[in-house]
């Protein structure tokens, strides 16, 4: 992709937008960045861009800014149907995302992992499996490192394990994984995609440029995954926690088995999985499939799984104080992820819910709340909606802030109980992102731990 001397606009000054702007400037493009947020909300990125001669527009998307470009690169957080982008499209200006831009330059094979839940855990584990098996591997994407930042370190013989979101898939053109993975598809981001059908269609774009030489790994237990498999070109390898599959990874007699037309291999025992929750068994099944398709030795896969530790903010054990366990699942940003958190503990759960609503139906939590929750603590902008939809399922305490919720839960919890942050919402009403929310939760828990006995925590 030739960008030298081209006028290129990068829309959205998040981590991936800033990385794309710097990459394009280094390639000789004439780069402008536009973000509708005021400069005060954009952190310390702007001086670095200005030092490189990149023009920066903040607080508004100027009509002329969008009109006078050869190419627009849009960040994942910017809706593709934003008025300024719609107008640019009508003028015939090409619009792509940061992942698409990066894929034009990235060397080596791509493993693209998507799904409503479990992406980060599976991507991290897959990367560790390949690395332990001696493969040259880079890990990035929605997991934190922009794909564009991997380009310089990529090589023709290497593997690039990428976590890919529905927002990133909306703006691909030629993005071509050798192995594509969809872990599950449950309602999420409906405030952006508007309908579940649109969301499913965005996820299914991961197969768009694959051929019969490529592989797709799909969840045989997930109806939406089964539906998107129809008519796709890559070879399909299933994974299942509930049944044996003809081609792929499944459970049999306490073991994870890999099966293809060439035969069967016992890869590891389920007891070797160090993570809590049946959803993490599914994540491991998918990662095993990726490892086997990448040519990793089963014993290396087994070793990587046994060594693996829970990813931060994903059902992460924080501390035990006065017999009460605290878990940070701030990455549970949708209802399905919160259901998985509830399913991970048999009973005595104090759960913190709330944040920025994404058009979710919280009433689907009610059965699990009745069975397992002692009390619900609501926070943030979605609190009232949540309280209305879960009324009667468990006692509810309206807390407004996370700090107050932790304090209230600690006062009510007794030895043998668990306190879990699994909000079922986005974080952007009160926090910069889910990581920030998770850190605030952990700090509040550590403050409890530091209190002397009788100092307020029970």
Does the pLDDT at position 97 exceed 50?
Answer: yes
Q: What is the pLDDT of residue 453?
A: 52
Does residue 441 lie in a domain region? yes
Q: Do 54 and 139 belong together in one domain?
A: no
Does the pLDDT at position 242 exceed 80?
Answer: yes
Residue with tokens 């668990």, as numbered in its chain: 418
> Average pLDDT of 67-79?
91
Which domain CATH number covers 217? 3.40.1190.10
Does residue 101 lie in a domain region? no
* pLDDT tens-digit map of 367-386: 999 999 999 999 999 999 99
Does the pLDDT at position 128 exceed 50?
Answer: yes
The two three-digit tokens of residue 450, written as one number: 């530091």
pLDDT tier for residue 144 given thresholds of 50, 70 and 90: confident
Q: Do 294 and 336 belong together in one domain?
A: no
Active site residues: 119, 142, 189
Q: What is the pLDDT of residue 188?
A: 60
Does residue 1 lie in a domain region? no
Residues of the chain above pLDDT 90, percent: 81
Q: Do 266 and 202 belong together in one domain?
A: yes
> Average pLDDT of 448-452?
76
Give the residue from 388, 392, 379 showing the smallest Cα distance to 425: 379
Q: What is the pLDDT of residue 456?
A: 43
Which domain CATH number covers 20? 3.40.50.720
Listed residues 274, 307, 340: the one ending a domain:
307
> Average pLDDT of 390-414?
97
Mean pLDDT, the chain, rounded, equals: 93
Does residue 381 lie in a domain region? yes
Determine the Cα–Cα distance for residues 321 and 233; give it in Å rounded to an integer: 53
Does residue 430 lie in a domain region? yes
Q: What angle do CA 448, 449, 451 make, to 5 degrees?
A: 65
Which domain CATH number covers 351? 3.90.190.20
Q: Do 282 and 346 belong together in one domain?
A: no
Does residue 157 lie in a domain region? yes
Does residue 199 lie in a domain region? yes
Q: What is the pLDDT of residue 452?
A: 59
Residues of the chain above pLDDT 70, percent: 97
Give the residue from 7, 4, 2, 5 showing the smallest Cα distance to 69: 7
Listed residues 30, 65, 96: the one ending a domain:
96
Listed residues 43, 72, 96: the one ending a domain:
96
> Average pLDDT of 139-157?
95
Instruction: Identify whether the C-beta of residue 352 lies closer than 8 Å to the C-beta of residue 332.
Output: no
pLDDT tier for residue 287 given thresholds of 50, 70 and 90: very high
Q: Do 81 and 47 belong together in one domain?
A: yes
Does the pLDDT at position 193 exceed 60?
Answer: no
| Other residues' Cβ atoms within 10 Å of the Cβ of residue 342 | 21
> Average pLDDT of 164-186?
95
Does the pLDDT at position 11 exceed 80?
Answer: yes
> Average pLDDT of 74-83?
87
pLDDT tier for residue 457 given thresholds of 50, 70 and 90: very low
Instruction: Identify whether the C-beta of residue 58 lies closer than 8 Å to the C-beta of residue 47.
Output: no
Q: Do 43 and 136 belong together in one domain?
A: no
The number of folded domains in the chain is 3
Instruction: Identify whether the C-beta of residue 28 lies closer than 8 Å to the C-beta of residue 5.
Output: yes
Q: Do 344 and 217 belong together in one domain?
A: no
Does the pLDDT at position 455 exceed 90?
Answer: no
Phi, psi of 370 (to 5 degrees): -60, -40
* pTM summary value: 0.81
DSSP state of 14: S
Determine the Cα–Cα distance for residues 13 and 234; give it in Å rounded to an integer: 35
* pLDDT tens-digit map of 226-240: 999 999 999 999 999
pLDDT tier for residue 194 given thresholds of 50, 70 and 90: low
Q: Do 363 and 302 belong together in one domain?
A: no
Q: What is the pLDDT of residue 454?
A: 47
Q: Do 257 and 341 belong together in one domain?
A: no
Helix axis angle, 434-450 relative to 402-412, nearest 10°?
40
Q: Do 78 and 127 belong together in one domain?
A: no
> Average pLDDT of 423-446?
94
Q: Do 178 and 275 belong together in one domain?
A: yes
Does residue 458 lie in a domain region? no
Q: Do 78 and 126 belong together in one domain?
A: no
Task: Write out the residue range of the structural domain in which residue 62 sits.
Answer: 7-96
């Amino acid at each position: 992709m030739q960008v030298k001397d081209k006028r290129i606009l990068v829309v959205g000054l998040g981590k991936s937008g800033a990385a794309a702007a710097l990459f394009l400037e280094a390639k000789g493009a004439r780069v402008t960045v536009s973000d509708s947020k005021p400069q005060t909300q954009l952190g310390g990125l702007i001086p670095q861009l200005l030092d490189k001669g990149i023009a920066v527009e903040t607080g508004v998307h100027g009509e002329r800014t969008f009109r006078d470009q050869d190419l627009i690169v849009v960040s994942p957080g910017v809706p593709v149907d934003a008025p300024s982008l719609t107008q640019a499209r009508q003028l015939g200006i090409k619009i792509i995302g940061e992942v698409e831009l990066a894929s034009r330059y990235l060397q080596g094979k791509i493993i693209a992992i998507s799904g409503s839940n479990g992406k980060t855990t599976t991507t991290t584990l897959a990367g560790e499996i390949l690395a332990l098996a001696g493969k040259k591997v880079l890990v990035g994407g929605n997991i934190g490192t922009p794909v564009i930042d991997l380009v310089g370190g990529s090589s023709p013989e290497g593997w690039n394990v990428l976590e890919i979101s529905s927002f990133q898939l909306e703006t691909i053109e030629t993005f071509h994984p050798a192995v594509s993975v969809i872990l599950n598809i449950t309602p999420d981001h409906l405030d952006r995609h508007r309908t579940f059908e649109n969301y499913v269609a965005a996820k299914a774009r991961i197969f768009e440029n694959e051929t019969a030489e490529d592989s797709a790994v799909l969840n045989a237990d997930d109806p939406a995954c089964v539906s998107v498999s129809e008519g796709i070109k890559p070879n399909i390898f299933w994974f299942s926690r509930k049944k044996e599959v003809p081609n792929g990874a499944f459970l049999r007699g306490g073991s994870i088995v890999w099966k293809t037309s060439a035969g069967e291999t016992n890869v590891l025992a389920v007891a070797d999985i160090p993570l809590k929750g049946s959803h993490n068994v599914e994540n491991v099944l998918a990662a095993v499939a990726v490892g086997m398709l990448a040519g990793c030795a089963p014993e290396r896969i087994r070793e990587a799984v046994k060594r693996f530790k829970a990813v931060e903010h994903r059902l992460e054990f924080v501390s035990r104080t006065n017999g009460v366990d605290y878990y940070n699942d701030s990455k549970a940003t949708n209802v399905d992820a919160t259901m998985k958190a509830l399913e991970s503990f048999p009973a005595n759960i104090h759960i913190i819910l709330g944040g920025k609503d994404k058009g979710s139906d919280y009433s689907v939590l009610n059965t699990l709340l009745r069975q397992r929750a002692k009390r619900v603590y609501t926070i943030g902008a979605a609190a009232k909606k949540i309280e209305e939809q879960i009324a009667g399922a468990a006692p509810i305490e309206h807390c407004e802030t996370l700090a107050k919720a932790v304090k209230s839960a600690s006062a009510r919890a007794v030895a043998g109980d668990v306190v879990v942050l699994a909000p079922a919402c986005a974080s952007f009403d009160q926090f910069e992102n889910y990581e920030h929310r998770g850190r605030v939760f952990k700090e509040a828990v550590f403050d409890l731990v530091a209190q002397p006995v009788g100092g307020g925590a029970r």
